[in-house]
Structure formats: structure tokens, C-alpha cells
Structure 1
Amino acid sequence: MDKFKIILWDFDGVIMDSMPVRDKGFEIVLQNYPQDQVSLLMEYHRNNGGLSRYNKFRYFFEEIRKESVTDSEIKVLAEEFSVVMLENLLNSKLLINDSLNFIKENYLKYKMHIVSGSDGNELRYICEKLGLSKYFSSIHGSPTPKNKLVEDLMTENNYNNDETCLIGDSFNDLEAAEVNKIVFFGYNNEKLKGLRKNFIHSFKNYSI
């Protein structure tokens, strides 16, 4: 395991237990739409944790409501969603101590980056306010898809695939790792245990 020099981290569900807050965000922003349609989106949202809100809002209109939606309309919804997030996520109690302690103890040993489906500007603001920014070489998020975020990081930094791993809690994270030919470690999602992939039950006494 000592071969790894670079760790790419997902954020939601890995560093912060933010999914209940993000659930609430979709419900608030879409409160004027039929509940059965919102429920279908929530199911899609929970099954695709690594996808951005931009993808999810587009899915809501095009796949669930069967109607067209413009980029500007999605941007407005995303901005409303961001307001809810910033009101609720600036809370250190939501941080997952198991992974955060590992990050604090090892950030000088590895190059660490965040690659998230959350909005990039919002995520950088949250990390700065919660004192997390200093642990990461860079913090990246949507609207750029996670597959592309990882690809760009690997290319721009000339990282060796064999020395890089991605830690995430969703199948979208797994896909981003596999597409970019780097090792994936599942965390905090029981569904990932059955894939015969690397799975981290706890970071306590865990050495990557």
C-alpha cells in the first residue's frame, strides 16, 4: 500500500456527512412540484451520489417531467440550492472524524485533492470556513463532471496512475477511478462492499 503518493477524495459521505442536508436542498428548491415527481428525483439523487446537482436537475425535468429545460433555468435552481447548502453545511459537527483524522495525520505524506460532485465554488468556500483547505493541494467540483476532474488533475500534475487512488462512497466515484485507470477505495457505503473492490471499513490504524 506504500506505493500510493496521491489521494483523490470525494467529499459528500466521505469527509462530511452532508447527504441529509443535500436531500433537504432538493426538497426545498422543488417544493412547488408534485411530490411523486420529487420522490423519483430523490431516489435518483441517492443512487447517484457523485453526480452534480446540475445533472440531477436536468434529469428531473427531462426524464421525470418529460419537458425541456434551459441551462439558465438549471443555473437558477442550482443557485437556490447553493443558498440552502451554505445555510446548513457550515457546521463542523457534520464532518466525519474517522476520515478527517486520517487526513490531518497524513496530509504531509501524500498529495491530496478533493474531486466532488458538489459545486466547486461552494465547496471551496465551505472547506475554507471549516479550516479544511490547508490539507488539500486543490479542491474541485461541479459543474465539471467527476470523470473529467480526475482526468484533468492527472494530466496537469503528470501523476502516475499506479501511484494514485480515489476514495469515494458512490458508484460514480468508482466509475471515475476506473475510467482514469486508478485504484478505487470504497468507503461508507455498504453497497460497495459486494463488488470485490478495495473497501475501507475504518481509517483507524489504516495505512495507505
Structure 2
Amino acid sequence: MKTPFLSQYDIIIFDCDGVLIDVNLLKCEAFGKAVGGYSSEIVDTFVNYCRKTFGISRYVKFKEFLSDFANEPFQEEKYKIFLNNFAKICKEIYEYADITPGCENLLSELSNQNKNLYVASGSDEKELNEVFMERNLSKYFNGIFGSPKTKLECTSIILKNHPDKKAVFIGDAFSDMKTAKEHDIDFVYMSRYTVQSEEQDLICRKESKKVISTLKDLIYSSHKSENTKYVPI
């Protein structure tokens, strides 16, 4: 088994949702369920916003829900209820969600090559570490980072641990692409499970070093994959 494209990198950073685990649509729905009790119009608008900004931390989004969607002043108690609701739903989602095609084969191969593998995610860091332990994925990674730190902060921590090493970020969202560009590292765009807008999808394709459908493409091909047609969800 070979990974020719990734052989040029010392540090490989993965987003989690929609890259390692197929949870994007389920987590978008979870944002709506977490704020249940509001009108369907408010909730639906919020869920659509969450899809367009996927990869941004829940700690940011629930504050935005109160100020920008519910038009209410910040309420610490209500904010914590939203976070707790969301965490409970996510725990269930991660327990049964599918690992993406090629994920474990790729991680195993890269680990055997002594590559430095990391996760930089918008999901909760403590939650991610528990999930990765339960799903037997943590053994592949040097570190698993998430919110409340931003992806920029997570990636900065990773890169500071490996100065002068070549790195790549594999993600499925506009926020992943922006993180890679901010740190001046290559970006691989994984398109199959993205829930972002067509405009964001096209930007990610344009700005990427390589476009793939799933991680399986990185095992079997050293050439840039065909840009799969965008299909609105």
C-alpha cells in the first residue's frame, strides 16, 4: 500500500467531521435539536447557517444563536443548556457514525511510515479524545486538538512543535482552507461529505493543492483526482 502524494509531508493534519468520521449532516441537525423550543423558522435558519459555517466551534455558534437568531441578550444558563444538549446528541452520533472510506487504511499506512499525524477540529477537544479512544483511532495520532480553541490556534500549536517541517491540512470546509492559508501550508480538499455552499465548495477546490472524494484516493493515486461535481444537499 502506497501514499505517494503524502510522502512529501512530515506533518499531516486532519479535520475530523466529514474527513475521518461521516457526521456532518447529523451534526447540522443536532444544532437545531439543541435549541429546540424556538419557532421552526428560527431553528431552520440557524441550521442553514451552521451548514454554511461548518467547522466553526459550537462555543461560537450558540452565542451567535442567541444574539443573531433569537435576538436575545446573552444568558449564561441558556447557553450552557444548549452546549449540554448538543454534547449529549453528539456523543450518540459519534458512537454509530461511519468511519469514512479509506480512513483506517490510510492512518495505518502513514503511521507505519512514522508520519506525524494530528487532528485540528472545530469539535470539542475533550469529546474528540474520548471518541477517538472508543473508536480505536487515537493510536494513530500524535495529538488531537479541538474547541474551545479555534482551528487556527490548534494548527499553530501543532506547527510550533515541528518547526521547519513540511505540513498539509486535509479538510472539507472553507474554515479548513482558511486555516491552511493562514499558516501557509498546503490544503487537500475532501469533497464527498461537505455541507457547505456551492460557492464555498468552488473556492476550496480552487485553493487546494489536491481535491479528493475520500481518503481512499490518497492511498491509490498520486495524481490529482477529478473534481467531483458539486451536488447541493
Same topology, TM > 0.5: yes
Q: Secondary structure at the match of 1:127?
A: helix
Please state if 1:89 is matched with 2:104: no
Check whether the contact 1:99–1:203 (CA below 8 A) recurs between aligned residues.
no
* Deviation by residue 1:70-99 (Cα, 9 ceiling, x = unmatched): 4554333212211111122112x5110223
Tell me, in whole angstroms, the C-alpha distance in 2 between the residues paired with 1:73 and 1:104. Answer: 42
- In structure 1, runs of 5+ residues without a counterpart are none
Please state if 1:77 is matched with 2:82: yes
State the AA in 2 paired with 1:195: K
1:154 and 1:41, CA in 2 relative to 1: closer, same or farther beyond 3 A?
same
* Deviation by residue 1:145-182 (Cα, 9 ceiling, x = unmatched): 11111112212x13336x10100000000011111111
Q: Secondary structure at the match of 2:12?
A: strand
2:182 to 166, 179, 203: 179
* Deviation by residue 1:42-76 (Cα, 9 ceiling, x = unmatched): 11111111101111111211122222214554333
Deviation >6 Å, runs of 4+: none
Check whether the contact 2:31–2:50 (CA below 8 A) recurs between aligned residues.
no
* Deviation by residue 1:113-153 (Cα, 9 ceiling, x = unmatched): 00100011111111000000001001011111111111122
2:104 to 100, 119, 141: 100
Please state if 1:168 is matched with 2:163: no
Displacement of 1:106 after TM fit?
A: 1.4
Tell me, in whole angstroms, the C-alpha distance in 1 between the residues paired with 2:222 and 2:119. Answer: 19
Residue 203 of structure 1 aligns with which residue?
218
Tell me, in whole angstroms, the C-alpha distance in 1 between the residues paired with 2:110 and 2:129. Answer: 20
Please state if 1:137 is matched with 2:142: yes
1:153 and 1:194, CA in 2 relative to 1: closer, same or farther beyond 3 A?
closer
Q: Secondary structure at the match of 2:56?
A: coil
Q: Secondary structure at the match of 1:107?
A: helix
Please state if 1:6 is matched with 2:11: yes
| TM-score normalized with structure 1 length | 0.90
- In structure 2, runs of 5+ residues without a counterpart are 224-233
Q: Quote the sequence identity (%).
A: 26
| TM-score normalized with structure 2 length | 0.81
Displacement of 1:28 after TM fit?
A: 1.8
Q: Secondary structure at the match of 1:94?
A: coil
1:160 and 1:200, CA in 2 relative to 1: closer, same or farther beyond 3 A?
farther
Q: Which stretch of structure 1 is more off in the superposition, 8-17 or 174-183?
A: 174-183
Check whether the contact 1:21–1:89 (CA below 8 A) recurs between aligned residues.
no
Q: What is the number of residues matched between the two proteins? A: 205
Q: Which stretch of structure 1 is more off in the superposition, 129-138 or 184-193?
A: 184-193
1:206 and 1:146, CA in 2 relative to 1: closer, same or farther beyond 3 A?
same
Tell me, in whole angstroms, the C-alpha distance in 2 between the residues paired with 1:205 and 1:30. Answer: 43
State the AA in 2 paired with 1:205: Y
Q: Secondary structure at the match of 1:66?
A: coil
Residue 230 of structure 2 aligns with which residue?
none
Q: Secondary structure at the match of 2:189?
A: strand
